[in-house]
Chain A
């Protein structure tokens, strides 16, 4: 395969391109979803092809083909060349790539048990058992359990001489109980909403999720929510659980620090960012205890890999240090704008998509609090658990998150359950109100398998390490 890719690159070099790379990507997926007593989805998908990226006359072109023949790869190379030439007619400044070390390497993600080798009946059996047990209360009208597995092989070659082969396995599972009493619909999920929790691990990750151990609690809480009091509209201190905080980091720190977005390339769709370059090393993004790093090197993190899709080695890069904005997620094209080299975040959703800046594992570093102590230290407040809804404006400033369930905190103790809870805020004010983060003991890297960005829409699998944290005087409920 490497020879075929390199032959296309040699041909492009002969046509005088400034730079080109070719990526063969084969993604095998298995998706199983059980709804009530039925296997709603049992599908396998194999998607394989080659994408060729070209800079010619200072402009980008890209083409992809779902074929591995040498002739088709060359056709794709030619199409990429032609589109680059068309792009060049609007170029104001020629594309220049930051230098990067050139690697010839092989990377494999950690995997003890290949999920594609685990008998399907074992996986379906687990999901069926979960669904059966979730439905033992008649008020649970729908039970959904699912497992998803991805096996990706990538070969990357460039005109600069890179030759990188990567094998990445990703696994995850989760479930949701939906309760309905004729008027109200409520749901509870485990271990996270939106299809569960994921990692670049094998089936051992699913086995370690304690799925069965949490079925009864999940069912009971879904039913309890039907008669819970609504979350009040108020301003109060809140403690946010790790999985919800993961999405908070995702939306209010991950996306606004994507440098392509900051530079305007996503303005027409996903929007821009309030974290502009003139605020780098100055913007007091959060309180002094807020430290956020982009770390693609964590073993098992869903946003971990060996090399990005420009051949840049995975790295750990500071984004927020002691509350100050100190870094961006960058690419070879964007990094020079801030005088840096790429920190390796360019990834594409398959062979037929152009790599764009994506989050890796964007982690809020842990603090020192015990969760029990943190609750005890909160006189009045609300504990927010697990995402249900999210929305943030196009500059990533004004956000509103809804969660599945909340509990009142009164005199340092968890009290009554609250339904339909929401909290809203403005990003820097919110993060500056963070005064306590739980310790490493509570810290978990939450896999987010559905991060959307770009046009055509690309889905990336990313992650966020978080522990529960407290934020002072936040707008709660549908406060406006």
Chain B
């Protein structure tokens, strides 16, 4: 990995040579060590390291963004020259005010976990073997991925911002599946790979797979569902993409448009962008070097706010919340560290208190239908079970949901005390399980025309 001194040296050299009124340089270094397994054996085992330098140059309110992987002396000179040349063609952006000013806030620069950095390919292979062994006991094949990410991010700008962070984390996800089309899934995220309970996860996935045999079809309807934390996380992420960012709000494409201060979910639903939650151990600043802050998004069902980068904060009269993405993105900011307020229940209690309902492990292929109404669609996957008389019953065939997420979060009957960190698309979410009433589920058609 690139250390602070080297990284800052590169960025300062870039800024010194920049011809802009203002300039920003960002150096991102990512190492990915990934072991993928399927059919109980490793089929991909990779170790790659990638460095990207972003240069954002501003002159007379014209902005150019350049990214390069070439950080040799010659490469840097060329990148600076190209960045300046791009300005000739850029258009004036009158909405641009300024790059962020430096802040005196002291931030953590190092959250490297020894337990993660010492998790070698051999240890990952050993973990795969243990998972496969647990699968074999139930005639199940194991597939999944053990992922170690190590990252450094360095940001500097011509106004004096200088930030550096390095950290690592681990994720293990697995599916155990049998020949009867039965499968179970589990996953874990931890900044410290050595704290991931490999055997525990494998047993959970195996148990779900064993229970998933002989699934029954359920009719279309509105059901009481118990969403395990991953399923809650998947819905939350879609909600974030659809409306927790300032750009969608500015462009009137967010469900939060004209709703700040109004009730949009149930009293018992609160979610905040909380980058300082210890379970994330994430970088404390964004791609502009702005310190992250806690941002209530929905509090007791009331829309509270969205996250900002400096561009939209200036434009909308707000302060940046430290949510800028890499300079070359066009999506706009979104929360990267969300925490949902936990409750007092547990999945076991939820099952006991449910006369008739459906437990959903996680969803698959959730996609937008109507962002303003937070409508999404997706299917259930890898462990969906009927609950009858307070007990877990038969497995259920795949069902599709077409559901408004905010309507779902308006009908939460119970929330678990325990939460997990669920990672998806580089967003970390600390999420509980939820029991939700009146959740739309539809049966798949029976396939009768296969051969």
Seen from chain A, the residues whose Cβ lies within 8 Å of a Cβ on chain B are: 31, 33, 35, 38-49, 51, 59-66, 79-80, 82-84, 86-87, 89-92, 119-121, 124, 128, 141-142, 146, 178, 180, 184-185, 263-269, 271, 274, 279, 282-284, 352-354, 389-395, 397-398, 400, 402, 420, 422, 424-426, 428-429, 432, 455-456, 478, 480
Question: What distance in Å separates the Cβ of A224 from its nearest Cβ neighbour in chain B?
Answer: 18
CB-based contact A391/B143 at 8 Å: no
CB-based contact B377/A391 at 8 Å: yes
- Nearest 7 CB-CB pairs, A to B? A480-B442, A120-B89, A86-B121, A43-B328, A64-B48, A45-B67, A43-B65
Query: Total A-B residue pairs with C-beta atoms closer than 8 Å?
Result: 262
Which of A44, A82, A83, A391 sits near B86, CB closer than 8 Å?
A44
CB-based contact B90/A42 at 8 Å: yes
Given A43-B67, A268-B38, A389-B369, also A398-B45 (CB < 8 A)? no
Chain B residues bordering chain A, tally (CB within 8 A): 89
Question: What distance in Å separates the Cβ of B230 from its nearest Cβ neighbour in chain A?
Answer: 13
Stretch among B19-27, B264-272, B443-451 lining the A interface: B443-451
Question: What distance in Å separates the Cβ of B180 from its nearest Cβ neighbour in chain A?
Answer: 13
CB-based contact A66/B86 at 8 Å: no
Residues of B with C-beta under 8 A to A33: 330
| CA of A283 to CA of B47, assembled, Å | 40
| CA of A456 to CA of B34, assembled, Å | 8
Asked if B347 is an interface residue, CB under 8 A from chain A, the answer is: no
CB-nearest residue of chain B to A53: B46
Question: What distance in Å separates the Cβ of B210 from its nearest Cβ neighbour in chain A?
Answer: 17
Residues B65-115 near A (CB distance < 8 A)? 65-70, 82, 86, 88-91, 93, 95
Asked if B430 is an interface residue, CB under 8 A from chain A, the answer is: no
Q: Give 9 new A-B contacts, CB below 8 A, not counting A43-B65, A432-B449.
A: A35-B251, A40-B330, A46-B70, A86-B121, A87-B45, A141-B252, A185-B252, A391-B365, A393-B364
Residues of A with C-beta under 8 A to B52: 45, 47
Residues of B with C-beta under 8 A to A38: 91, 93, 95
Residue of B42, B329, B398 with highest tally of chain A CB at under 10 A: B42
Seen from chain B, the residues whose Cβ lies within 8 Å of a Cβ on chain A are: 32, 34-52, 63-70, 82, 86, 88-91, 93, 95, 120-122, 124-126, 128-129, 132, 141, 143-145, 147, 173-175, 177, 183, 185, 220, 251-253, 327-330, 364-372, 377-379, 381, 398, 400, 402, 442-445, 447-451
Which of A42, A124, A265, A429 sits near B43, CB closer than 8 Å?
A265
CB-based contact A48/B365 at 8 Å: no
Given A89-B125, A394-B364, also A279-B451 (CB < 8 A)? yes
Which of B41, B91, B442 sits near A90, CB closer than 8 Å?
B41
CB-nearest residue of chain A to B83: A44
Which of B34, B143, B365 sits near A392, CB closer than 8 Å?
B365
Residues of A with C-beta under 8 A to B371: 185
Residues of B with C-beta under 8 A to A120: 86, 88-90
| CA of A461 to CA of B185, assembled, Å | 30
Which of B63, B147, B379, B398 sits near A39, CB closer than 8 Å?
B63
CB-nearest residue of chain B to A49: B69
CB-nearest residue of chain B to A356: B44
Residues of A with C-beta under 8 A to B251: 35, 141-142, 178
| CA of A63 to CA of B57, assembled, Å | 34
Given A42-B65, A264-B38, also A86-B45 (CB < 8 A)? yes
| CA of A42 to CA of B57, assembled, Å | 11
21 A-B interface contacts by CB (under 8 A): A31-B330, A38-B91, A41-B328, A42-B86, A45-B67, A47-B68, A59-B42, A59-B45, A61-B46, A64-B46, A64-B48, A80-B47, A268-B145, A284-B450, A352-B32, A354-B44, A389-B367, A400-B400, A422-B369, A478-B369, A480-B402
Q: Is the interface of B mostly helix, strand, loop or mixed?
A: strand
| CA of A271 to CA of B48, assembled, Å | 25
Which of A42, A66, A263, A480 sits near B50, CB closer than 8 Å?
A66
CB-based contact B143/A268 at 8 Å: yes
Question: What distance in Å separates the Cβ of B371 from its nearest Cβ neighbour in chain A?
Answer: 7
CB-based contact A185/B89 at 8 Å: no
Residue of B89, B177, B252 with highest tally of chain A CB at under 10 A: B89
Residues of A with C-beta under 8 A to B185: 268
Residues of A with C-beta under 8 A to B330: 31, 33, 35, 40-41, 146
Residues of A with C-beta under 8 A to B34: 455-456
CB-nearest residue of chain B to A455: B145
Question: What distance in Å separates the Cβ of B135 from its nearest Cβ neighbour in chain A?
Answer: 12
| CA of A216 to CA of B129, assembled, Å | 61
Given A120-B89, A271-B364, A480-B220, also A394-B67 (CB < 8 A)? no
Residues of A with C-beta under 8 A to B447: 274, 397, 426, 428-429
Question: What distance in Å separates the Cβ of A72 from its nearest Cβ neighbour in chain B?
Answer: 10
| CA of A75 to CA of B381, assembled, Å | 41
| CA of A389 to CA of B443, assembled, Å | 20
| CA of A391 to CA of B363, assembled, Å | 11
Which of A46, A62, A391, A393 sits near B367, CB closer than 8 Å?
A391
Question: What distance in Å separates the Cβ of A132 from its nearest Cβ neighbour in chain B?
Answer: 12
CB-based contact B448/A429 at 8 Å: yes
| CA of A328 to CA of B133, assembled, Å | 32
Given A84-B45, A86-B124, A426-B444, also A268-B174 (CB < 8 A)? yes
